[in-house]
Amino acid sequence: MRRVIVTAHAASKMASRGVTLTEVEECALNPEVAYGQGSNEIRQRGTLALAVVTDGRDIIVRTVLLRQVSQWTDEDARARKEANR
**What is the 3-class SS of 23-45, one letter each residue?**
HHHHHHHCCCEEEEECCEEEEEE
Other C-beta atoms closer than 10 Å to the C-beta of 50 total: 28
pLDDT digits 0-9 by tens, 23-64: 999 999 999 999 998 899 999 999 999 999 998 889 999 999
- CA–CA separation, 40 vs 17, rounded Å? 22
Q: What is the pTM of this model?
A: 0.77
- CA–CA separation, 71 vs 11, rounded Å? 25
